[in-house]
Amino acid sequence: MGLPEMDIAFVLYPNMTALDLVGPYEVLASIPGIRSHFVAETRDAVSADRGLTMVPTTTFAEMDRADVVVVPGSGHWKEALEQQPMIDWLRKVHPTTKYTTSVCTGSTLLAAAGLVDVATTHWAVRDLLASQGVEVSTDRVVESGKVITAAGVSAGIDMALRLVAMEFTDAGAKTVQLAIEYFPEPPFTQDEIGPEIAEGLKALLG
C-alpha cells in the first residue's frame, strides 16, 4: 500500500520569517507523494523579514483547496495582521484541509481568520494572541482538532515531524528526524539566557 498523496500549501507574505516555513518544508517535502505549493497574493517574489527572497508557485485566487496549509509567522506580526487577502484565503481554504497549521506568530493570523480556539505562539506575542480570544498554551506544539500550532520559529520542525507521525508513521517521522539530524543541543539553556535578555528582546521586537 503506497503513501497517500497530499497537496501542501506553504503561505508566503511580505516580511514572513523564513525558517518558520523552510523548517516544516524540509520535513514535509521529504515524504513521497507530497506536492508542495508556495502560495501568495501574487506570483511576485516575496522577501522574508531577514531579506531571503522566495518565489510563489501559485496565488490565493488560483488555489482553492489544500490538504495541509502551513502559515509562517513574522518578526513584523502587527503588519502581517494587515494582510487581509491572506486572512480571507485562510478562512476560505480551511474547510478543505485535513490539517491547518501555523508556526510562531502565524497562529495570530489563524486567529484573525477565526480558525483557532486553543493555540501556542512565539513567547513575545502570547498577550496578543490572548487578546484575539484564543486560549494560549506555552507548549511547543498544540493540536486542537485539525489545527496544529507551533511555538516560535524552530518549533515548526517539531510540528512538521509530529504531522508526519500522525499522517504517515512514527518510523517515517523518525527517519526524517535522523536525515536532517534534528537533535537540538543549544549552547545556552533558557535558564542561562535569563529574564534581562528576554525583556530586552521583547522590547526590541514590540
What are the residue numbers of the active site?
104
Q: Is 5 exposed, middle or buried (0-12, 13-18, 19+ CB in 10 A)?
A: exposed
- Exposure of 49 in the CB half-sphere (CA atoms within 13 A): 18
Rounded Cα–Cα distance for residues 205 and 183 (Å): 28
Radius of gyration of the CA atoms of the chain, in A: 16
Q: By the 8 A CB rule, do 43 and 71 touch?
A: no
Rounded Cα–Cα distance for residues 42 and 34 (Å): 23
3-class secondary-structure state, position 67: coil
Backbone torsion region of residue 97, taken as left when φ is above 0, otherwise alpha when ψ lies between -120 and 50, otherwise beta: beta
